[in-house]
Amino acid sequence: MKLLYEGKTKNVFELDNERCLLEFKDDVTGENGRIDPGANTVYGKLEGKGKQALKMSTYYFELLHQQGIPTQYLKTELEKNHMVVKKAEPFGKGLEVVCRFKAYGSFLRRYALYTKEFQPLDALIEITLKDDLRGDPLINDDALIQLGLVNPPELKSIKEMAGKIAKIIKDDLAESGLDLIDIKFEFGKAGGEIILIDDISGDNMRVFKDGHQVSPLELSDMVGKNK
């Protein structure tokens, strides 16, 4: 297989002209001595985290499929830590779409003069460029369009899809007593259709329970337990 991309928590391989393979790793991101899904550096490894992230992603992709949400997911090979997906073209070199339900992380740092930690937010959507070198800079709607990364209808669809998917996941987590603070998505196009790509795991969301942040490994054990 041809390695297309080596990421912090996953590797992407080409299977053929229509499919790719995602290999889930045990690496976790973090900074300042703690695990943080919003960080751009690898903090260390958690044994078994890759398999747990794959199980969680599979659970949510199948849940979204039941809701009629288009994704790149095809199947999971759990024993190998592999997910087979549709090949998709990202927007630009990759956009990260963040849906926020409470003020935390980089949002809190940027707007500390006007907000406080855990202030409720109404599924607020922010978009950043996938660019580790420049700290994944925030980009506004006008810049996205004028730089040719998306057109207006695409941008509208991406934001609507992100909000809808985030609400589905938030409600599901709430059934296990878990509070979704924020979640990060990636979207691409396959066959001219906008679809959700990448994964849906503790690597790209912040979740709290009883006032404490839940680690990616713990989170995957809690998801779907009440189903």
pLDDT tens, residue order, the chain (227 aa): 899 988 888 999 999 999 999 999 987 777 666 666 666 677 677 788 899 999 999 999 999 999 999 999 999 999 999 999 999 999 999 999 999 999 999 999 999 999 999 999 999 999 999 998 999 999 999 999 999 999 999 999 999 999 999 999 999 999 999 999 999 999 999 999 999 999 999 989 999 999 999 988 899 889 876 65
Quote the pTM value.
0.91
Which backbone phi and psi does 105 adopt, to 5 degrees?
Answer: 60, -135
Check residue 156 and give its pLDDT: 98
Q: Mind listing the domains of the chain with CATH numbers? A: 2-86 (3.30.200.20), 89-222 (3.30.470.20)
Radius of gyration of the chain (CA): 17
Check residue 98 and give its pLDDT: 98
CA–CA distances in Å: residue 205 to residues 34, 71, 202, 217? 15, 18, 5, 12
